[in-house]
A and B are shown apart, each in its own frame.
Chain A
């Protein structure tokens, strides 16, 4: 199992012959997960994850439900510890710096690594405008004001492909939008704080197929600026948008989840090495 875990890493250390992929692969890693064990209280939910994620790429986490995809994702911006009793062992390096080092402030980590949740969760007391700037406004310093804010709102909403739909009703409540629009509002809210990495936990699973395609287009665009990690239960979706894919699995209920295999998406889908990956991918496609 573990030999496959660092697939991406291996590829990067020994650049392949084909020019383009080698160029991309040589970009430094944004995130490296090292020997990460993740617990809920005494329950070891995910064991020994080793994974590296390239800059400006889309990494998809796939696997059966309960295998720990969301759990791993939430450790990457220190949201895991928000759950009472939850803790981790091991390291998560962001640009080489361990975000679990003792002197790291989780609040600052979360300002650098944004997150979009499975169910759209706009703040119900706030207008569309206020929702977009919520992160900036509620962060302590409050350095942005007035016109600067207006610009950030427009940029973020354009970035989330929502501007045209809401520009005339920015002062209306965010909760009045449709599900797909709410989710794009949450993406706008996440990119308004200008994070470097964007985590998305099944961002389209609560949406209809048109909204899903809109979100997928958006992810492809955002890739040019952000490192994106997306959990999806939809393998076609992973196929469509992800540069790299990581497959998680668990041996049974109550057992910890493991990272089984990871690598470039086309390899994972066409030439997986591990039998579990083959079974999972064939089971879903065939």
Chain B
């Protein structure tokens, strides 16, 4: 191997790394590396490329809208977006090469899909807030529909809020213990046929349409056993929907509690039930709370089962054990079908209150979950 610094093949400015060894003691060179300074770099699009494409998209969209020229009748913005999508990829292909073009295509597609999923969500939220907010007032929250002409203005949702909270509370009181205990059985004890059967029925229950849950309580609880329509009946119907959700959520969380913790406790001579109560559940509690709250949020908006079990009421009924009770979902349905401007406004107001209640549940779950989460410091 020759002296690299004098080697005519090595371009000017090339870094020459030398390592001593075979060159003898003190010898400056042995193996030398010829390094191409460009081997780590490639041509890239300018930073502002994405913004250029966005600007072009807007420009094309506006242009199409003004001139009215469209391709095969597609909406103007669709054409503009598609054009920039293709243009952006092509530009990358020319400048950066195939691998980067594919990368950009996939990245753009992912962002577009995420945006497509979020747009309706924000749309609903904004509509809800805009329409509902003007109705929301202290009066609306504290008065009922008693003695209010449902087609005229006035009235409020107090009776529906009370009804919804009570019905959901009943559903939770039934579902949470049943659901958590079943999940504990399935994860910690369940082996063999019985566990398989239970697991199968949980799957079936998850798929029960909510109206069927309502029908079941209606025929069994009200027609057969002869109990009156009530908030309790509604709570029972909701719990049919809630139990499988709680089971599955808890099961998933219990499964990710590391087995090492169970074994660690068992090896200390701790009886199994105590391992579950004092090690497994406390480790999982924060996830279980989140799961339970999601299940609560899910049933809070159910309408169909309530129609069959407690129907609706225009007046406050604080007693969930007897008589029809109002609820927010049924209130919304009732107001919409009255069809006047005032009743539609009330429906929006009720919807906003419903969403706020769900949000409060969710925020509460996050706070509790954070409080109970295992800590490192």
Pick the residue among A111, A114, A123 that contacts B265 (CB under 8 A): A123
A173 to chain B, nearest CB (A): 5
Contacts of B265 in A (CB 8 A): 123, 134, 138
Contact A173 B268, beta carbon cutoff 8 Å: no
Contact A84 B269, beta carbon cutoff 8 Å: no
Q: How far is the CA of A109 from the CA of B268 in the complex (A)?
A: 10
Q: How far is the CA of A121 from the CA of B268 in the complex (A)?
A: 12
Contacts of B271 in A (CB 8 A): 107, 138-140
Contact A82 B266, beta carbon cutoff 8 Å: yes
In the complex, A268 has a CB within 8 A of chain B: no
Contact A135 B374, beta carbon cutoff 8 Å: no
Number of interface residues of B (CB under 8 A): 24
A143 to chain B, nearest CB (A): 14
Residue of A nearest to B277 (CB): A138
Pick the residue among A114, A123, A173 that contacts B267 (CB under 8 A): A114
In the complex, A269 has a CB within 8 A of chain B: no
The verdict on A117 contacting B268 (CB below 8 Å), with A125-B282, A172-B377 known, is no
In the complex, A33 has a CB within 8 A of chain B: no
Contact B260 A121, beta carbon cutoff 8 Å: yes
In the complex, A193 has a CB within 8 A of chain B: yes
Contact A107 B377, beta carbon cutoff 8 Å: no
Contact A110 B267, beta carbon cutoff 8 Å: yes
Residue of B nearest to A131 (CB): B264
Q: How far is the CA of A190 from the CA of B266 in the complex (A)?
A: 11
Task: Report A81-123 residues with CB < 8 Å from chain B CB.
Answer: 82, 84, 107-112, 114-115, 117, 119, 121, 123
Q: How far is the CA of A176 from the CA of B376 in the complex (A)?
A: 5
In the complex, A124 has a CB within 8 A of chain B: yes
The verdict on A124 contacting B283 (CB below 8 Å), with A82-B263, A117-B260, A173-B374 known, is yes
A202 to chain B, nearest CB (A): 13
B377 to chain A, nearest CB (A): 5
A12 to chain B, nearest CB (A): 29
Residue of B nearest to A118 (CB): B260
Q: How far is the CA of A112 from the CA of B267 in the complex (A)?
A: 10
In the complex, A175 has a CB within 8 A of chain B: yes
Contacts of B375 in A (CB 8 A): 173, 175-176
What are the interface flags for B352-377 relative to A under an 8 Å C-beta threshold, 1 for contact and 0 otherwise?
00000000000000000000001111
Q: Is the interface of B mostly helix, strand, loop or mixed?
A: helix
A218 to chain B, nearest CB (A): 18
Contact A79 B267, beta carbon cutoff 8 Å: yes
The verdict on A189 contacting B260 (CB below 8 Å), with A125-B282, A175-B376, A176-B377 known, is no
Contacts of B148 in A (CB 8 A): none
Contacts of A114 in B (CB 8 A): 267-268
Contacts of B266 in A (CB 8 A): 79, 82, 110
The verdict on A186 contacting B264 (CB below 8 Å), with A110-B269, A125-B283, A193-B269 known, is yes
B102 to chain A, nearest CB (A): 40
In the complex, A261 has a CB within 8 A of chain B: no
In the complex, B37 has a CB within 8 A of chain A: no
In the complex, B196 has a CB within 8 A of chain A: no
Contact A190 B268, beta carbon cutoff 8 Å: yes
Category for how many chain A residues contact B: 20 to 34
What are the interface flags for B175-194 relative to A under an 8 Å C-beta threshold, 1 for contact and 0 otherwise?
00000000000000001000
Q: How far is the CA of A119 from the CA of B374 in the complex (A)?
A: 19
In the complex, B274 has a CB within 8 A of chain A: yes
In the complex, A154 has a CB within 8 A of chain B: no
Contact A173 B269, beta carbon cutoff 8 Å: no
Contacts of A112 in B (CB 8 A): 269
In the complex, B270 has a CB within 8 A of chain A: yes
In the complex, B278 has a CB within 8 A of chain A: yes
Residue of B nearest to A124 (CB): B374
Contact B274 A138, beta carbon cutoff 8 Å: yes
Contact A79 B260, beta carbon cutoff 8 Å: no
In the complex, A32 has a CB within 8 A of chain B: no
In the complex, B258 has a CB within 8 A of chain A: yes
B286 to chain A, nearest CB (A): 10
Contacts of B264 in A (CB 8 A): 117, 121, 123, 186, 189
What are the interface flags for B248-270 relative to A under an 8 Å C-beta threshold, 1 for contact and 0 otherwise?
00000000001011111111111
Residue of A nearest to B284 (CB): A125
In the complex, B205 has a CB within 8 A of chain A: no
A144 to chain B, nearest CB (A): 14
In the complex, B279 has a CB within 8 A of chain A: yes
B299 to chain A, nearest CB (A): 29
Task: Report B227-263 residues with CB < 8 Å from chain A CB.
Answer: 258, 260-263
Contact B278 A173, beta carbon cutoff 8 Å: no
Residue of A nearest to B266 (CB): A82
In the complex, A54 has a CB within 8 A of chain B: no
The verdict on A77 contacting B267 (CB below 8 Å), with A84-B191, A121-B260, A125-B283 known, is yes
A to B CB contacts below 8 Å, 26 in the list: A79-B266, A79-B267, A82-B263, A108-B269, A109-B269, A117-B267, A119-B260, A123-B265, A123-B279, A125-B279, A125-B283, A125-B374, A135-B269, A135-B270, A138-B271, A138-B275, A139-B268, A139-B270, A139-B271, A173-B374, A175-B374, A175-B375, A175-B376, A176-B375, A189-B268, A193-B269
Known contacts A77-B267, A140-B274, A189-B268; 14 additional CB pairs below 8 A are: A79-B266, A82-B266, A84-B191, A107-B270, A109-B269, A117-B260, A117-B267, A121-B258, A121-B263, A121-B264, A135-B268, A135-B270, A138-B270, A190-B267
What 7 A-B pairs have minimum CB-CB distances, sorted nearest first?
A111-B269, A135-B268, A124-B374, A115-B267, A121-B260, A110-B269, A138-B270
Give me the interface of B with A, judged by CB distance under 8 Å.
191, 258, 260-271, 274-275, 278-279, 282-283, 374-377
